[in-house]
Structure 1
């Protein structure tokens, strides 16, 4: 994988994007099965209560989403680094 991805485009910080925060909040809230009936353990999925499977699935979704944000949406190259790189290519 290309390790210089952050230097390919303009500076972007996803922390300033409210849509990403909303998506993260929805994933976290969906992973906490408060919306299921209290004390329910049936049906079992692979030997565990279904609410555990729901929680694990949304944990994986959250990890994948945060990984996608870090790999594709985050570009925080510092202006000094970018200027230094430009000088190196010009020489």
Structure 2
């Protein structure tokens, strides 16, 4: 990603996706019928939560790698410029 990195708190798109993923791992809004539907013996709500947790982990890794401005990145850029 060649664009300038900035703190993710200033990017509303990151917060919207994070909110959606957090809502997906919260089981209180699932209908009661989700407990009756089984996927390989596991309730559907549990499958949704596990998959959403994996997506949340992957998304947070992406945000940290490509959107988070770390001081080490700035120091490396300064060192390359000085050489």
Correspondence 1:23 to 2:28: no
Does the CA-based 8 Å contact 1:9-1:75 persist in structure 2?
A: no
How big is each residue's C-alpha offset from its partner over 1:37-69, in whole Å with a ceiling of 9 and x where there is no partner? Answer: 237521111211111001101001101111111
> What is the aligned length?
82
**TM-score normalised to structure 2 length:** 0.74
Structure number with higher helix proportion: 2
Q: Specify which structure has the bigger relative contact order, considering alpha-carbon pairs within 8 angstroms and separated by 6 or more residues.
A: 1
List alignment gaps of at least 5 residues for structure 2: none
**Selected match of 1:36 from 30, 34, 52:** 30
List alignment gaps of at least 5 residues for structure 1: none
For residue 79 of structure 1, report the CA deviation from its aligned partner. Answer: 8.7
CA RMSD in angstroms comes to 2.7
User: Of the two, which has the highest radius of gyration?
Assistant: 1
